[in-house]
Chain A
Amino acid sequence: MSLWKIAWRSIQQRALASGLTGLSMALGVALVVAVLVMQGLINASFLGPNGFGYNRIVGAKGSKVQLVLNTVYYLSSPVENLPYSYYKEFTQGKYKRYTALAVPVCLGDVYEDFRVVGTTPDMFDKFDYDDGKKYAFSSGKNFTADGFFDAVIGARVARETGLKVGSEFQPTHGVGGHKHDDGFHVVGVLDETGTPVDRALFVNIEGFYLLENHALPDKPLLPEHSDEHAHEHKADEHAHDHKHEHADEHEPAANVAGAKPHEHAEGAEHEHEHAHEHEHEHDHHAHEHHPLPESQREVTAILLLTAGQPDLTASFIAKDINKGTIGQIVSPVYEIASLFEIFVRPSEYMLLALTVMIVIVSGIAILVSIYNSMSERRREIAVMRALGAGRGTVMRIVLLESILLSLGGGLIGWALGHLLVAGVSPWLNATAGVQIGLFRCAAEELVIIPGLIVLAAIAGYLPALVAYRTDVSQTLSATP
C-alpha cells in the first residue's frame, strides 16, 4: 500500500476536521485564483501589447490617458480633434514612410448606451486584435468605402440593441444630444472579440462626416459667417462635448461643428446651395452623396501602426510629432500601464497579499488540525512502526497528509476560483467590455501548486516531527 493511500486513509478517518481545513484552503486559493485571473485579465485586456493591431495613437494635445480611454476603450469624455490634413501627413505626407497603416477615427455620437465610431473599412480589414486574430463577422460583412451610410456593429451591441444586418439606426449627437436625421444601415455584425470593439458601432467615416453638425464651416466662407455659425452652435446647447465654439481656430470639429453635412460641399457656393436643397432630405439612399471636402473634416484620433520595427519607428517620429503644436503620439499600452502602476497596481498587490494571507492562515489550520490529531494517532504510528515503518516513513506519511489536504483544497479552490471568475464574467463584460473564459488562467497560477506543496510541508513539519519522535515501545505498552 502506497504512502499516499495511507495518508489519504488518515484524512478520511478524520473526515470532518479534514474537510473543514481543506475547505478553508479551498476558499483561500479560490480567492487567490480569482484575484490573479482578474488581474491578469484586466492587464491583458488593457495592456496587451499587440492586442489592438496598432501600436500608437495620434490625437490632439491634451490628456494622454483620456485620449487612450476614449479612442481604444470608448470610455471617458471625447477629446479634441485633429485637422484632417494632419491625418494626411500619415497617409501622404511626411510621416507616410514611417506608417504601415493609419486609420482615422471620429467620435462623439452614441446610439443608446454605445459609442458610434466613424472610421474606414481598414479598421476591420487590416487591423487584427488579441495577438493576430482577424476580425470576423457573425453575419454580414465589413462596410465598404463607397457605402457611406453603412455600418458594422459589435457583438454586444447587436445582442443588447437587437440591431442586425439590414437594420437602420440613427446616432445621437453627443451623449444626451439630439438624434441625427440620417441613419446608418447595418451591413455586418462582428463576432465576439472580448474587447471594447464588442460594445461600439462602427460607421463609414464618410457618412459620419455627412451627419448634421459634423462638418467644419467651409474655409472660404467669410469670417462673419463662421462666427455666426459658431454662435448658433453654442446657442444650440445640445449636450455634445465639443469644446470648439470657434471652428476657424482649428478647434475640434469632426465630432462637433455646426454645419449641416450638405451645406458645404467642395467649397463652392453652388454646392452649398445644393446642400440646402437637401437640408431636410432624410432618406440618404434616395440621392447620391458627395464626400465632405477635406477642408471641412477633422478626425478625433489616428490609430497608427508604424512601419519597420514598430516601436523603434514610433519613438523616432514621436519627437517630431510631440514638439509640434497640433498633435501628440501616445502608446496606448504605455499610458494604460502607467495608469495601472499608479492607481491600480498598489490595490492589486494589497488584495493579493490579503488573499495570500488567507491561504497561509489555511495552512496554519492544517497544522493545527493534524497536530491536534497526533495524540490520538500516536498508537497508529506506533503500530505502523511495529510493522516495519521507519521514523522517516511515518514522518513522510504525515507530510503527505498535509500535502494532500493542502493540494486537494487548493485544486478545489482553483476550480472554485475559475467558476467565481466565470460567474462575474457577464458583469465585467457588461461594465468594462472585458470577456473572461472559464479556463483563462493567469501565469502566476503556476506558482500555486509548488507554493501549496511548500506551505503544506511547512505546516506538516511539526506534526511530522511528533510522528518521527514517537516512542514505539512506550506507546505500544501503554493501555489504549
Chain B
Amino acid sequence: MLRISNLKKSFREPDGARLPILDIKEFHLGAGEAVVLMGRSGSGKTTLLHIVAGIARADEGMVQVNGVDITRMPEPGRDRFRADHIGYIFQTFNLLAGFSALENVLLGMSFGRGKVDVGRARQLLERVGLAHRLTHKPAALSVGEQQRVAVARALANRPKLLLADEPTANLDANHQQSIIDLVRETCREEGVALLLVTHGAEIAEQFERVEYLDRFNQVVGAA
C-alpha cells in the first residue's frame, strides 16, 4: 500500500543553509496493515506524513501509495490523489467551526471524484457513536466527540491509507483508548492501511508493528 524508497527532505534555514530532516532508505506498509510510528519531537514524523499525503514535496526519492508514485505528480494531481485515496486525522482535530458534525464529514468527500454521500456520512457518524450529534457544531461537542468526528471525516472518502498524526495527544486517558479502538476497528472494517504517529508507549504496545523513525531515518541527529 505504501512504499518509500530513498526519500530525502530538508528545509531551508533563515541563513539559506539546508537542514536535512528525513533520509529514509526504505519503508513499506501493506494493504490493511496498521503500523505505529514513534519518534522524538521534531524527528520529522509529521513531515513524513505530509509527504506521504502529498501535502509536502520530497526533495528526492519515491513515495508510492497504492502503486502510484506521488512524488512524480504535480501538485493538483497530488491534491486529487489525496482527496480520493488518503484519509488524514490531525492532532488538533481541525474540524471546521462553522460546519456541523455531518457537514464536517461531508467535507471529507467533497473534493474527490466520488459523489458526496450523505448516507455514508451519517453511517460513519453512527459508527463513531455520534448519531445524535449530527447537526451540532464543533463548539458544542466534547473534545472526544470532536476527534470522533475527525475519524469519521478521515474515512469519508473510503481511503486506502489513513494517516493519523498523534490523534490522542489532546485527549484524556479514557478518550485516548476509545479513539485508538475506534480507529483500529474502523480501519479493519474498511480495509484501510493505518500509519499512526504517537508518543504514547501504552498505545504503541497494542499494535503488532511499531516503527521508530530514529532507527530508519538516516539523518544524524535529526531535530
Q: A-side interface residues toward B, CB under 8 Å?
A: 1-2, 5-6, 9-10, 12-13, 379-380, 383-393, 472-473, 476-477, 480
Contact = CB atoms under 8 A, between A and B. Distances in A.
Contacts of A379: 94
Contact of B157 (A388, A390, A391): A388
A388 B55 contact: no
A480 B90 CA distance: 12
A390 B79 contact: yes
A61 B90 CA distance: 89
B90 A388 contact: no
B82 A386 contact: yes
A6 B103 CA distance: 9
A13 B100 CA distance: 11
Contacts of B98: 9-10, 12-13
Contacts of A10: 98
A169 to B, nearest CB: 68
Nearest to B94: A383
Nearest to B97: A13
Interface in B91-106: 92, 94, 96-99, 103, 106
Contact of A390 (B80, B92, B153): B80
Interface residues on B, range: 20 to 34
A390 B50 contact: no
Interface in B13-60: 46-47, 50, 53, 55-56
Contact of A389 (B47, B92, B106, B111): B111
Given A10-B98, A389-B79, A390-B80, A384 B55 contact: no
What are the 7 tightest A-B residue pairs by CB atom distance, in nearest-first order? A388-B83, A13-B98, A388-B111, A390-B79, A473-B56, A1-B110, A9-B98
Contacts of A389: 79, 83, 110-111
Contacts of B194: none
B157 A383 contact: no
B144 to A, nearest CB: 18
Interface of B: 46-47, 50, 53, 55-56, 75-76, 79-80, 82-84, 86, 88, 90, 92, 94, 96-99, 103, 106-108, 110-112, 116, 153, 157
Contacts of B46: 476-477
9 contacts: A9-B103, A384-B96, A386-B82, A387-B107, A388-B112, A390-B76, A391-B76, A392-B76, A473-B50
A379 B103 CA distance: 17
Contact of A393 (B82, B84, B99, B111): B111
B110 A387 contact: yes
A380 B96 contact: yes
A19 to B, nearest CB: 14
Contacts of B82: 386-388
Contact of B55 (A5, A6, A473): A473
Contacts of A13: 97-98
A9 B90 contact: no
B111 A383 contact: no
Given A1-B106, A387-B107, A390-B111, 17 more contacts: A1-B103, A1-B110, A5-B103, A9-B103, A385-B79, A386-B55, A386-B90, A387-B88, A387-B110, A389-B110, A390-B76, A391-B79, A393-B111, A472-B55, A472-B56, A473-B55, A477-B50
